[in-house]
Amino acid sequence: MARVKGGKTTSKRRRNVLARVKGYRAGRSTKERQATEAIMHAGQTAFDHRRDKKNDFRRLWIARMNAALRPDMSYSTFVHALKSKNIGLDRKVLATIAKDSPESFARIVSRVKN
């Protein structure tokens, strides 16, 4: 069987790997083996953090609503009252309303209180 050398394919693969680790520190940005390892770890972290981002935003929405609600009632009683009155607004929408138009949010709160 004839010998097959890497040539263009190897060069291209190496160039693509090193392009993806541009800006990394030390050997991770210049050495192919370390760069490949760095790419794998970075990909895993990116995957995990895409999941974490959903929790982070939920926490942010709850904190915003709680800050807007505090003079009147607590967040937990508000959410319970929403469910019992069958008001189908989610946390994201409620937090946006609380941030952007507090007067509308106050009307929602007063409706839930009664």
Q: Which CATH number fits the domain that encloses residue 13? A: 1.10.1900.20
CA distances (Å), 109 to each of 83, 93, 102, in order?
13, 14, 10
The answer to whether 78 and 69 have CB atoms below 8 angstroms apart is: yes
pTM: 0.74
Answer whether 50's CB lies under 8 Å from 42's CB. no
Task: Give the end-to-end CA distance of the chain in Å, rounded to a whole number.
Answer: 86
Instruction: Give a yes or no: residue 3 inside a domain.
Output: no
Provide the pLDDT for residue 85: 93
Question: Taking CA 49 as the corner, what is the angle to CA 55 and CA 88, rounded to the nearest 5 degrees?
Answer: 25
* Torsion over CA: 33, 34, 35, 38 (sign): positive
Q: What are phi and psi of 111, to 5 degrees?
A: -70, -35
CB-based contacts of 97: which residues, under 8 Å, 6+ apart? 89, 104, 105, 108
**What pLDDT shows up at residue 52?**
97
Digit-coded pLDDT (tens) for 66-110: 999 998 899 999 999 999 999 999 999 999 999 999 999 999 999
Tens of pLDDT, residue by residue over 11-69, are 999 999 999 999 999 999 999 999 999 999 999 999 999 999 999 999 999 999 999 99
The total number of structural domains in the chain stands at 1
In a domain, 68, yes or no: yes
* pLDDT value at residue 65: 95
Q: Is residue 104 part of a domain?
A: yes
Domain span at residue 44 reads 8-113
